[in-house]
C-alpha cells in the first residue's frame, strides 16, 4: 500500500482530503505545518506528499524544497488557492509532480495521486515507467498552462504565465518569443492596413508561436544532431498542439490561427496542412520570416549579427546590407531615399518568395520579376 502525507494548516480541508485519499486505498498521515511534516517524514518517509502552499509559518514551496533535497523518491503535489503562475512555475521547476488548483474535487485528487504513484515508482528505478511518465507529465503541463492562463485576469499576465512555462522547458524560449514578436510587429507596422485588433492578434500569435513545444520532449528540443524521422514527426506536431491549447482560451483564439500556420511555406512545402501562397494568413507569413531570422541570428542564445538580406537601392542602385532589428527600418546609406516603397518591395520578395527557412543573406531577388540582383538592379525598376 502506498503512503500519502497530507500537509495543510486548514484542519477541515485536511480532514476532507485525507478521507478521500483513504477511500482510494492509500495509507494516510496528516501534518498541520511544514515542521510537523518533516518530523513525520523523518519517522516514516511517505511515497507521496500533498502540501498546501499557503500555510502560516513555513509555506508549501519551502517544504517542497526540503522534501526534494532529503527524500528524492517522494512525489510532491502542491495545492493552493492562489491562482498564481509564478508559484506554479517555480514549483514545477522544483520537480513537483502535479498542482491542485482550489477548489478541486475527489476526481482531481485521484488523478494527481495516480500520476504521483508512477512518479514514485519511476524515481525508485523503473526506467520504462519513467519514460511513459514523462509523456503524461508533458501533456499535463500543456493542460496546466491552459488552466493557469485562463485564470489570469489580464492578457499580459496570461501571456507571461504561458511564456514562463515555455522558458522552463526550452532554453531561450522567452527571449526568442519576445524578439520574434518585436520583429513581426515591426513588419506588420510597415505593411499598414492592420486594425488595432489585428495587430494585437499578430503580437500574441508571435509571442506564443512555439507554445506547443511544451508537448515536445526536452531531449528532442535540445538535440544537437539531426532529428530522426520519429523525432521530426513529434517536433512537427507543435503548431497543432499550440493551436489546440490556445483555442481553449477565448482571448487568444485569433492568435491561434497564426500559431497553427507559422510553419507553412509559400510553396506548399510547410506543415501541418501544406497550405500554399495566399491561403497562409499574412500574419503567419510575417511570423515565419521573423522566426527564421531570429533562429539564424540567435543560435545557442547568442546574437550573431547576421544581415537579413543584401539590398540594391531603388533610387541610386547602391548595394548595401540590411539588418532588421526591432523597429529599425532599412534606408539607403548613400542617398537616404525615403524607404517605404523600397521596404514593401523587399518585404514582399521575402514573404512571397517561398521557404523562409533558407538562409536569407544575399537574397535580394526582386519582388516583381524575381531578378536575383534585386529591386533597383532589375529590368522592372
What are the residues binding Fe ion (CB under 5 A)? 210
SS3 350: helix
User: How far is residue 76's CA from residue 99's CA, in Å, rounded to a whole number?
Assistant: 9
Instruction: Choose between 34 and 235: whose C-beta lies nearer to Fe ion.
Output: 235
Contact 365, 277 (CB under 8 A): no
Contact 111, 139 (CB under 8 A): no
Instruction: Choose between 52 and 210: whose C-beta lies nearer to Fe ion.
Output: 210
Instruction: Choose between 9 and 294: whose C-beta lies nearer to Fe ion.
Output: 294
**Considering only CA atoms, which of 311, 315, 316, 264 is closest in space to residue 292?**
264
User: How far is residue 317's CA from residue 378's CA, in Å, rounded to a whole number?
Assistant: 10
Instruction: Choose between 152 and 184: whose C-beta lies nearer to Fe ion.
Output: 184
Smallest gap from Cβ 177 to Fe ion, in A, equals: 10
Instruction: Choose between 242 and 330: whose C-beta lies nearer to Fe ion.
Output: 242
Question: Cβ-closest residue to Fe ion?
Answer: 210
- Cα-only R_g, the chain: 26
Smallest gap from Cβ 262 to Fe ion, in A, equals: 6
Smallest gap from Cβ 37 to Fe ion, in A, equals: 42
Helix-helix angle 253-260:282-297, to 10 degrees:
60
Smallest gap from Cβ 147 to Fe ion, in A, equals: 23
SS3 251: helix
CA 144, distance to chain mean position in Å, is 12
Contact 162, 208 (CB under 8 A): yes
User: How far is residue 209's CA from residue 159's CA, in Å, rounded to a whole number?
Assistant: 12
Determine if the peptide bond prior to 62 is cis (ω within 30°): no
Alpha carbon distance, N-terminus to C-terminus of the chain: 80
Instruction: Choose between 155 and 357: whose C-beta lies nearer to Fe ion.
Output: 357
Question: CA angle 206-212-218, nearest 5°?
Answer: 120
Listing DSSP states for 275-319 in one string gives: --GGGS-HHHHHHHHHHHHHHHHSGGG------SEEEE-TTT--E
Q: Is 121 left (phi over 0), alpha (psi -120 to 50) or beta?
A: alpha
Smallest gap from Cβ 274 to Fe ion, in A, equals: 16
Smallest gap from Cβ 28 to Fe ion, in A, equals: 45
Smallest gap from Cβ 210 to Fe ion, in A, equals: 5
Give the single-character DSSP code of 358: S
Smallest gap from Cβ 332 to Fe ion, in A, equals: 33
Smallest gap from Cβ 322 to Fe ion, in A, equals: 24
Instruction: Choose between 190 and 210: whose C-beta lies nearer to Fe ion.
Output: 210
Tally the C-alpha atoms within 13 A of residue 190's C-alpha that lie toward its C-beta: 26
Smallest gap from Cβ 366 to Fe ion, in A, equals: 29
Instruction: Choose between 67 and 275: whose C-beta lies nearer to Fe ion.
Output: 275
Contact 150, 248 (CB under 8 A): yes
Contact 79, 16 (CB under 8 A): no
Instruction: Choose between 203 and 210: whose C-beta lies nearer to Fe ion.
Output: 210
Amino acid at each position: 500500500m502506498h503512503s500519502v502525507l497530507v500537509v495543510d494548516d486548514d484542519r477541515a480541508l485536511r480532514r476532507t482530503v485525507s478521507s478521500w485519499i483513504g477511500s482510494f486505498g492509500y495509507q494516510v498521515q496528516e501534518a498541520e505545518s511544514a515542521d510537523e511534516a518533516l518530523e513525520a517524514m523523518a519517522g516514516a518517509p511517505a511515497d507521496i506528499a500533498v502540501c498546501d502552499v499557503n500555510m502560516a509559518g513555513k509555506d508549501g514551496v519551502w517544504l517542497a524544497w526540503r522534501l526534494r533535497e532529503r527524500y528524492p523518491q517522494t512525489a510532491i503535489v502542491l495545492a493552493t488557492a492562489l491562482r498564481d503562475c509564478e508559484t506554479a512555475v517555480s514549483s514545477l521547476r522544483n520537480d513537483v509532480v502535479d498542482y491542485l488548483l482550489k477548489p478541486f474535487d475527489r476526481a482531481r485528487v485521484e488523478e494527481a495521486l495516480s500520476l504521483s504513484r508512477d512518479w514514485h515508482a519511476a524515481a525508485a528505478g523503473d526506467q520504462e515507467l519513467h519514460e511513459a511518465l514523462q509523456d503524461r507529465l508533458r501533456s499535463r503541463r500543456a493542460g496546466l498552462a491552459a488552466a493557469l492562463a485562463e485564470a489570469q485576469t489580464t492578457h499580459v499576465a496570461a501571456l507571461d504565465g504561458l511564456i514562463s512555462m515555455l522558458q522552463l522547458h526550452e532554453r531561450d524560449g522567452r527571449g526568442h518569443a519576445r524578439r520574434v514578436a518585436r520583429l513581426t510587429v515591426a513588419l506588420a507596422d510597415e505593411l499598414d492596413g492592420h486594425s488595432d485588433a489585428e495587430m494585437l492578434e499578430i503580437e500574441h500569435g508571435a509571442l506564443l508561436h512555439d507554445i506547443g513545444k511544451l508537448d515536445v520532449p526536452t531531449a528532442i528540443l535540445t538535440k544537437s544532431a539531426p532529428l530522426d524521422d520519429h523525432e521530426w514527426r513529434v517536433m512537427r506536431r507543435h503548431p497543432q498542439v499550440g493551436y489546440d491549447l490556445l483555442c481553449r482560451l477565448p482571448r487568444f483564439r485569433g492568435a491561434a490561427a497564426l500559431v497553427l500556420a507559422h510553419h507553412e511555406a509559400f510553396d506548399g512545402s510547410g506543415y501541418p496542412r501544406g497550405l500554399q501562397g495566399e491561403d497562409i494568413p499574412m500574419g503567419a507569413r510575417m511570423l515565419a520570416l521573423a522566426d527564421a531570422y531570429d533562429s539564424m541570428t540567435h543560435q545557442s542564445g547568442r546574437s550573431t549579427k547576421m544581415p537579413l538580406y543584401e539590398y540594391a537601392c531603388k533610387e541610386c542602385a547602391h548595394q548595401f546590407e540590411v539588418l532588421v532589428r526591432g523597429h529599425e527600418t532599412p534606408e539607403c546609406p548613400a542617398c537616404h531615399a525615403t524607404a517605404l516603397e523600397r521596404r514593401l518591395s523587399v518585404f514582399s520578395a521575402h514573404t512571397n518568395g517561398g521557404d523562409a527557412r533558407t538562409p536569407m543573406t544575399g537574397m535580394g531577388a526582386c519582388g516583381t520579376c524575381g531578378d536575383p540582383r534585386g529591386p533597383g538592379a532589375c529590368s522592372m525598376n
